[in-house]
Structure 1
Amino acid sequence: MTETMNETIAALAGTGASIDVQGISKRYRDTTALDDVSLQVKAGEFITLLGASGSGKSTLLNIIAGFIEPTSGRIEVAGKDITTVPPYKRDLGMVFQHYALFPHMDVWENVAFPLRRRKVARAEVERQVRQALDVVELGRLAKRRPSELSGGQQQRVALARAIVFRPRALLMDEPLGALDKRLREQLQLEIKRLHSELGTTFVFVTHDQEEALAMSDRIAVLRDGALVQVGTPEELYERPSSRYTAEFLGESNIFTGHHRGARFIDATTKADLAVGETGDCAGALVLRPEHAHLAAPGSDIPIGHNVLNGVVRDVIYLGSGLRVEVTLPDGRAIVSRPAARGRYTPEPGTGVLVHWHAERALVVPDHPSVAP
């Protein structure tokens, strides 16, 4: 990175503000969009609100932004109550999925708009717009209209417009949802870089689990208006607190049954499986595909591993690995993700042993619990 670029980033960088969501609920007649949601976002943190359509993630973001009024609860930014403060006085940047650029303005004027609304001096507008466009590497396109830009370029303009006035936090509502996969992945890296360089608090909404895992410091999982679990990507993937989180965040093999002592009894087959923790409750055993290993029938299985017999249904090549689907005797499927060049690659239709170490599977409540 050049010295000039470092100076530009330093000029735009600021101290991100903490965001404290306290008991937020939102009701529309007989529908509850959010139900007593509380969430603390640290200053300078990149947190993602993750959930399916209708989970309440965009509603929560719009309440933080001030576009939707909550039924109850309060929002604090940097320790100050802003629940009733108008959106334009909250000093928060907003990036939408469909860019929301002014089609009759060129790139420069689109980025300058928030500054002009704030009656910033002309010379300062010139300086800050130039800095923002340099950060998103669009200075050469300053005189083009949005219709003359690609989708990725338009989203960069939207980012520049959102950071040009140095907001205390940047809110993003599925900003990559309209882009193709390759461009999404490219902009994920750029947004992550931008966060690292600016130090601003980022609140990002998505339904894409891979996007959430790749970009976030922490992830808040929502379901039906309730907060299910909050944690780092590793915590949520490796230690989901409920079956819902395990199924929503990444691919999982799920067995329903009862946890007794250090054993898990599968409800369907009554298979007795070893687990790495003790307990006594109904629940679900979660096994991630990368921990499910394959071996030919008759092979020696390591001590401490559970073993199930099955027949290979399908093998899909994914470049760096394989996705192998195995049908168990009761008709259920279990998925394994071995390396593409592993020592054993079974063919569809062949018998196979699926095995995993007891401590690689996790027992969780069968029904979602609400995050504290």
Structure 2
Amino acid sequence: MTTTNTQTVGAGIRVAGVVKKYKDSTALDGVNLDIEPGEFITLLGSSGSGKSTLLNIIAGFTSSTAGSVEVDGVDITNVPPHKRGLGMVFQHYALFPHMSVFDNVAFPLRRRKVAKDEIATSVREALEIVQLGHLATRMPSQLSGGQQQRVALARAIVFRPKVLLMDEPLGALDKRLREQLQLEIKRLHRDLGITFVFVTHDQEEALAMSDRIALLRQGRIVQIGTPEELYERPSGMYTAEFLGDSNIFAGIVTAGSLAYADGTQLEVAGGCPDGPCSVMVRPEHTRVSPRGTALDPGNNVLDGVVREVVYLGSERRAEVILNDGRAVLARMPVGLNEPVIQPRQEVVVSWRAEHGLVLPDERAAV
């Protein structure tokens, strides 16, 4: 965990053996998770993976079937939500439409019976943190979606909680505004030093914002680590395919070479014993060249035909259909020395053996 705040004020969280069962299903299946004080951790997963259920159990809105939750070493498993002292931001803001921005932010303090002059000071400070001090008298209906979400953030931090929980808070915003608020939330975390637990199904959002990511699938944590660890060193096929684009080559390995579907021998860089094996290559490590281009002997090479090329400014994204019919993705930087690839062009797809990551396929075991 990293934070530039001079003093970490966030609380550590321990989730131990948490199970959540419904009548016909299991939402969480023995989840264990330790969150460091002041850490920004993201619970990532597809719909139904259990990420929001886990967040709501930490918040106290949902009771667990088994297991416990501790905050700062104190068991809060059976503590009501309003007594846990945790900040919460929802996807749809949950602002009171009949209250001004000031009164919305002041609400948690008034419920705690804080003195009036202290409320005024705390609300002003919270609104300045989210850069909305000039809109204190506005009503929610007079604000944009991004401004409303910042008001929700101010309301969640005004009483200085040690933990801030966020359930897909950017999901209702457009792409540009979402990216802007990602930066603001990262700044907020750095400045406040409190513990952030963030839920999203958006992999790019998780990679951009988190100290660590806990990837969930069917109520279990598949892998937990830094964004770099999950992207560069996924522990299995599910992580590799969920985070970012990936090209998977499956075959039989003999003496360090993988026999691919069309009989081509692909060199495998260590870690794969003889037998069935899958190798992942990220699109940014995959090169597409016109057929007949001289390539370094250290490259694995497969023939194909370009189906589509998309220009994205700093790079081109190419989809190539190999001889066996499968599609391979490549992301290539735009530059003077890069060949221009066109649809229907005959090409070779290549990558260096060290850029291929050997993966176990744990999907059948889940």
Pairwise TM-score range, normalised by the shorter structure: over 0.9
Q: Secondary structure at the match of 2:79?
A: coil
Match of 1:6? none
Equivalent position amino acid for 1:182 in 2: R
Question: Which of these residues, 117, 121, 134, is aligned with residue 123 of structure 1?
Answer: 117
Match of 2:145? 151
Q: How many residues align?
A: 360
2: CA distance, partners of 1:73 / 1:256: 39
Q: Secondary structure at the match of 1:97?
A: coil
Match of 1:315? 309
1:214 aligns with 2:208: yes
Task: Give runs of aligned pairs for residues 180-219 of structure 1, distance below 5 A.
Answer: 180-219=174-213
Q: Secondary structure at the match of 2:270?
A: strand
Question: Which of these residues, 97, 116, 137, is aligned with residue 91 of structure 2?
Answer: 97
Q: Against the structure 1 CA distance between its residues 136 and 362, is the aligned structure 2 distance closer, same or farther, given a 3 Å change threshold?
A: same
- Cα displacement (A) at 1:365: 1.2
Match of 1:273? 266
Residue pair 2:51, 2:216 contacting (<8 A) in 1 also: yes
- Percent of aligned pairs with the same residue? 62
Residue pair 1:49, 1:203 contacting (<8 A) in 2 also: yes
1: CA distance, partners of 2:32 / 2:63: 16
**For structure 2, which runs of at least 5 residues remain unmatched after alignment?**
none
1: CA distance, partners of 2:222 / 2:255: 26
Match of 1:108? 102
2: CA distance, partners of 1:141 / 1:278: 58
TM-align CA RMSD: 1.7
Over residues 39-63 of structure 1, what are the superposed CA-to-partner deviations in whole Å (9 max), with x where a residue is unaligned?
1111100000000000000000000
User: Larger deviation: 276-285 or 320-329?
Assistant: 276-285
Match of 2:350? 355
Match of 1:169? 163
Q: Secondary structure at the match of 1:234?
A: helix
1:306 aligns with 2:318: no
Q: Against the structure 1 CA distance between its residues 159 and 277, is the aligned structure 2 distance closer, same or farther, given a 3 Å change threshold?
A: same
Q: Given the two structures, how large is their TM-score scaled by the length of structure 2?
A: 0.95
Over residues 9-30 of structure 1, what are the superposed CA-to-partner deviations in whole Å (9 max), with x where a residue is unaligned?
99xx860001111111100012
2: CA distance, partners of 1:38 / 1:333: 38
Task: Give runs of aligned pairs for residues 1-372 of structure 1, distance below 5 A.
Answer: 15-266=9-260, 268-280=261-273, 282-341=276-335, 342-368=337-363
Over residues 200-247 of structure 1, what are the superposed CA-to-partner deviations in whole Å (9 max), with x where a residue is unaligned?
100000000000000000100001111100010000000111111111
- Cα displacement (A) at 1:340: 2.1
- Cα displacement (A) at 1:157: 0.2
Equivalent position amino acid for 1:126 in 2: A
**For structure 1, which runs of at least 5 residues remain unmatched after alignment?**
1-8
2: CA distance, partners of 1:128 / 1:96: 21
Equivalent position amino acid for 1:68 in 2: T
1: CA distance, partners of 2:239 / 2:148: 33
Q: Secondary structure at the match of 1:279?
A: coil
Residue pair 2:316, 2:331 contacting (<8 A) in 1 also: yes
- Cα displacement (A) at 1:302: 1.3
1: CA distance, partners of 2:346 / 2:338: 16
Q: Against the structure 1 CA distance between its residues 369 and 185, is the aligned structure 2 distance closer, same or farther, given a 3 Å change threshold?
A: farther
Q: Secondary structure at the match of 1:337?
A: strand
Q: Secondary structure at the match of 2:221?
A: strand
Q: Secondary structure at the match of 1:36?
A: strand
1: CA distance, partners of 2:361 / 2:259: 14
Q: Given the two structures, how large is their TM-score scaled by the length of structure 1?
A: 0.93
2: CA distance, partners of 1:260 / 1:116: 70
2: CA distance, partners of 1:235 / 1:369: 23
Equivalent position amino acid for 1:279 in 2: C
Q: Against the structure 1 CA distance between its residues 205 and 164, is the aligned structure 2 distance closer, same or farther, given a 3 Å change threshold?
A: same
Q: Against the structure 1 CA distance between its residues 191 and 216, is the aligned structure 2 distance closer, same or farther, given a 3 Å change threshold?
A: same
